[in-house]
Amino acid sequence: MNNATENSVEISVKNLNLWFGKFQALKDVNIDIQKNQVTALIGPSGCGKSTFIKTLDRMNDLVDNVKISGEVMYQGRNILDSNTDVVELRKQIGMVFQKPNPFPKSIFDNVAYGPRVHGVRKKQNLNEVVERSLKAAALWEEVKDRLNESALRLSGGQQQRLCIARLLAVEPDVLLMDEPASALDPIATSKIEDLIYELKNDYTIIIVTHNMQQAARVASNTAFFYLGELIEYAPTIDLFERPQDKRTEDYVTGKFG
């Protein structure tokens, strides 16, 4: 079921199927991800939500025996096509993981890493990108006086925001977040949630979360996955207040199984 709020579509997924060997992890998924909205993916462990999000920037390519069919249309092309430039794609569609993974480098070098890879060399330009990205990730005020310190000395919540700043530095369109706050305490979590809410003005965000209240707080639309199928996709308020499918109802009320 697909009742999500209509807006312009950033990513359109059609008949997506994915197998790991003989195991089918995604079954005929059809979903339109709205531009400049936060879309939350929820569902029990193993339901396919992380697999789905990884398909959007071709991270499943790294898995042995993976077979994918269907279409993931983004900017007029199917990103599953073999001729897709994956490096360029991951610049446009970036990913933040559950555990913050800063490079063992300075705060500055973490953020400047992407722009350098993509050819920015001038110190002045890098300074501007780093400041802009750290500000956009709501981290600038906390680190502006110690940019040359190791990123590993930051707290978990700061490291996660640094990883988001690192993504923003290469000016992506879409941010994929795979449980970005699950390893953080409530205060760091609320900072990430506030940040997500701010970032949606400029980016399309897809967030996988096990925390339904988090989905309810940050997402405009929510998709419920179960056993590899997209069961229900609707405006978040509808999905949590009056889900249409009994499986969604059972999951969101915690009576699953």
Paired sense of beta strands 23-34 and 9-20, if any:
antiparallel
Q: Contact with another protein (CB under 8 A): which of 55, 159, 236, 248?
A: 248
What would the DSSP string read from start to end of 168-186?
A: HTT--SEEEEESTTTTS-H
- Closest Cα partner for 149 from 206, 111, 197? 111
Q: How far is the CB of 220 from another protein (least distance, A)?
A: 17
Strand pairing partners for 68? Answer: 18
Stretch binding another protein (CB under 8 A), from 5-13, 83-91, 98-106, 246-254: 246-254
In the region spanning residues 182 to 241, those forming contacts with another protein, defined by CB under 8 A, are 212-213, 240-241
**Maximum pairwise Cα distance, the chain:** 57
Provide the token pair at 178: 């795979």
5 binds another protein per the rule CB under 8 A: no
Q: How far is the CB of 250 from another protein (least distance, A)?
A: 9
For another protein, which is the closer residue by CB, 130 or 239? Answer: 239
**Residues listed for the chain:** 257
For another protein, which is the closer residue by CB, 206 or 212? Answer: 212
253 binds another protein per the rule CB under 8 A: yes
For another protein, which is the closer residue by CB, 156 or 235? Answer: 235
Q: How far is the CB of 206 from another protein (least distance, A)?
A: 21
121 binds another protein per the rule CB under 8 A: no
164 binds another protein per the rule CB under 8 A: no
In the region spanning residues 133 to 162, those forming contacts with another protein, defined by CB under 8 A, are none
CB of 19 closer than 8 Å to CB of 25 = yes
SS3 of residue 69 by DSSP: strand
SS3 of residue 67 by DSSP: strand
Q: How far is the CB of 218 from another protein (least distance, A)?
A: 15
CB of 27 closer than 8 Å to CB of 1 = no
Site size toward another protein, by CB under 8 A: 14
Provide the token pair at 120: 């920015």
Q: How far apart are CA 20 and CA 48, in angstroms?
A: 11
Q: How far is the CB of 199 from another protein (least distance, A)?
A: 25
Binding site for another protein (CB under 8 A): 212-213, 240-243, 248-249, 252-257
